[in-house]
Amino acid sequence: MKNNKSLRVFLRITRILLSHITIYFAVLILICYFIDRVNTAMEFISSPLSKTFIMILAFLALITSVLNIIALWHNPDKRRERKRRS
């Protein structure tokens, strides 16, 4: 039972951290996009570094989404348990 609880805590902390990192990369991509529109000579969006950031953002978004879906699957069970205890 303790391992199950520690796994849930680990997944919750991982989900929170990945959500914040995903927001960071999304803002970074948006800033590069708008700077690229203002100054097209810089080529922020077409550079290999930007393409790497976009790949990282997509990967993080995928992992974060899967972890959030898992958390949402477990949520209705917790609500039912709380209602039964009341």
Which residue stretches of 39-85 are H helix?
48-85
pTM of the model: 0.74
pLDDT digits (tens, 9 = 90+) for 24-41: 999 999 999 999 999 988
- Which residues are within 8 A (CB) of 16 and not within 5 positions of it... i.e. 6 or more apart? none
* Confidence band for 76, pLDDT divided at 50, 70 and 90: low
* Confidence band for 53, pLDDT divided at 50, 70 and 90: very high
Mean pLDDT score, 1-29: 87
CA distance linking residue 67 with residue 75, whole number of Å: 12
Does 77 have pLDDT greater than 90? no
CA distance linking residue 79 with residue 86, whole number of Å: 11
DSSP SS3 for 29: helix
Mean pLDDT (the chain, rounded): 86
Does 60 have pLDDT greater than 90? yes
